[in-house]
Structure 1
Amino acid sequence: MKLVYIAIFENCEEGGYSVSFPDLPGCFTEGDTLEEAMEMAQEAACGWICGEVEDGREIPEATPRENIQEVEDGFVNLIMLDLDDYRHKHGNRAVKKTLTIPEWLNTRAVEAGINFSQVLQEALKEKLGVA
């Protein structure tokens, strides 16, 4: 599901931008650069909305752009939110994988008490360069 919300970007005295959302109470973020602030805005808003849905609350309607006043030291921008993409990236639903390894390696790993799932996850994260 894709949604569009208003984000208010304000220049910070120490540099960077703070971002708030008129329709998402308590949802704030910031970024050192405009690009980072935009990315963080999408992450924060998606996380906020997903949290509301998980808690059984309604997703608030977006205020029309023409109903939002301009800000003095910043700007108002529309932010596209892709909730399906966010859930895909941040979901921790387990997926069963079947794999084959040499018997000797399996025996040694079992004897050492190795958690195969944890090792595979750590190795994949390292290989892909993700946290």
Structure 2
Amino acid sequence: MNVVYPAVFYKNIENDGYTVVFPDLDFGATEGENLKDAFFMASDYLGAWLYEYYIDGKEFPIARDIKDLEIEEDEFSIKEASFVSLVGVDMLEYSRKSEVKTVRRNVSIPSYLNELAKRNNINVSQLLQEALKEEFSM
């Protein structure tokens, strides 16, 4: 599930870095040492901010139209070198990378399948994980 939000990239006055602000996410911000790093950090911030919404199945905050964002003037950034851009994140991929904890879960299967699995050295836990990933297109 790809999610896109507009953000303001403020060019830092003292170095090559950028500060990235997401007005629709309570004006949350991150920064990067250069433009490439700023985009990476912005995508990661977006994923982290929306992660609990995604896991809990809640609706994400509404993203405003990118045309409605303005670059504010301040003493820390160069307004002429600052810009507005869309930042995206694949929430399925983000959650996969973020949540690596395993949980123990009991499942019931017919005894004959259990015996076949033992005889054929099949790891039922691994098989179940693979089947669930396939079911959820992961």
Measure how far apart 1:90 and its partner are.
1.2
How does the TM-score come out when normalised to structure 1?
0.64
Measure how far apart 1:22 and its partner are.
1.1
Structure 1 gaps, min length 5: 97-131
- Take 2:30 and 2:58, find their aligned partners in 1: how far apart are those partners? 22
Measure how far apart 1:81 and its partner are.
1.5
- Take 1:36 and 1:17, find their aligned partners in 2: how far apart are those partners? 9
How does the TM-score come out when normalised to structure 2?
0.61
- Take 1:26 and 1:67, find their aligned partners in 2: how far apart are those partners? 14
The equivalent residue for 1:13 is 13
The equivalent residue for 1:42 is 43
- Please say if 1:23 is aligned against 2:24: yes
After TM superposition, the structure 1 = structure 2 runs for residues 21-100 of structure 1, keeping only pairs within 5 Å, are 21-53=22-54, 58-70=59-71, 72-73=79-80, 74-94=82-102
- Give the 3-state SS of the residue equivalent to 1:8 in structure 2: strand
Over the residues paired in the alignment, what is the CA RMSD in angstroms? Answer: 2.3
- Take 1:6 and 1:41, find their aligned partners in 2: how far apart are those partners? 10
Taking only the aligned residue pairs, the percentage that are identical comes to 34
Contact 1:27–1:45 (CA under 8 A) maintained in structure 2: no
Q: Cα distance 1:5–1:54, how it changes in 2: closer, same or farther (>3 A)?
A: same
Number of aligned residues: 96
Select the structure that is richer in strand.
2
Paired amino acid for 1:22: P
- Take 2:4 and 2:89, find their aligned partners in 1: how far apart are those partners? 6
